[in-house]
Chains A and B, each alone.
Chain A
């Protein structure tokens, strides 16, 4: 975070530590998104009741 990334003609080059941090953050965001998806699925099922979406009148 506080280290300076190298700038070359190919753009900004992250050093090894920055790459590892970025990877760790990406994994964290993926896990949080997955947890939110599960959370909303559970809320929906409980709020509507199992099968409610299928049984509702068209």
Chain B
């Protein structure tokens, strides 16, 4: 069952491979996005948490996100096994057992929430607990296989990390973290559906009602553009409410226009062939860069304003 050759592996290689399989359960790519956006939320917050405690808070948020990922892999191992993108994950490939993944998910969930409560405050801990519950139970166990709106509603869990980061520093939630939440929330549909357009056959085989499968490609492309229209102006809001400089605002506006242009190309493409996949691939790749640049620019802008370099 184990596809990896074991004969000839040294003890150290085996140990690294074993550890790598368990680490893969935590969905490191998703975790890196969570860490980055939560970190931006923490830096933007006017908080006075000890730097080491702030770092441990960030670690707890990352582990919490990883725990939710492990629970997702535990529950979804049946559909992961039939989709090309996911069939090499640790459980469907037979490298980790389902029970182990479930235990790791539950254990890390409880541990991460408790540690976040100990080092920061109950607001942040409660938000992290809600995020894990929303992703693992509401999205994974309920929405994903039931409605084409799965990633729209479920996207809330991916949008919460900057709010948790802010709350860890301040013990409260204000307008700016809510704007950060909305940016990721509205970014999720065009981002996820671009991937779904490229991989719609996968979801069809697995019986997951992703939008292209449930409502058709044309409707998906229209909805992607609608969400992009809502998303594009949102990153400018921090400038409008006085939380970021005009330089950031102009940069965010330009990024939004490029996003709109990519979404438009997906919207107007004819047919469901390679041209659609090319346009969707272009939007998908840009959407990742877009989120990184918006949050990165906000981070740099905040630091420059605090240092007095930018007014």
Contacts and interface: CB of A to CB of B under 8 A. Distances in A.
A16 B119 CA distance: 43
Interface of A: 1-2, 17, 20-21, 23-25, 27-28, 36, 39, 42-43, 46-47
B14 A24 contact: yes
Contacts of A42: 52, 56
B6 interface: yes
A29 B177 CA distance: 36
A1 B97 CA distance: 8
B15 A24 contact: yes
11 contacts: A1-B95, A1-B96, A2-B1, A2-B2, A23-B11, A24-B18, A28-B22, A42-B52, A43-B53, A47-B53, A47-B118
Nearest to B94: A2
Given A42-B52, A42-B56, A46-B52, A20 B11 contact: yes
Contacts of A1: 1-2, 94-97
Contacts of A47: 53, 118-119
Nearest to B1: A2
A2 B202 CA distance: 27
Contacts of B95: 1
B19 A43 contact: no
A23 B11 CA distance: 9
A44 to B, nearest CB: 9
Contact of A43 (B1, B6, B56, B111): B56
A39 B116 CA distance: 12
A17 B5 CA distance: 11
Contacts of B97: 1
A25 B18 contact: yes
Given A1-B1, A43-B115, 5 more contacts: A24-B14, A24-B15, A28-B15, A28-B18, A39-B56
Nearest to B18: A24
B6 A17 contact: yes
B205 interface: no
B281 to A, nearest CB: 36
A43 B118 contact: yes
- List the 6 closest pairs (A to B, CB-CB), nearest first: A2-B1, A24-B15, A24-B18, A2-B94, A46-B50, A20-B14
B19 A46 contact: no
Contacts of B18: 21, 24-25, 28
Contact of A27 (B15, B96, B111): B15
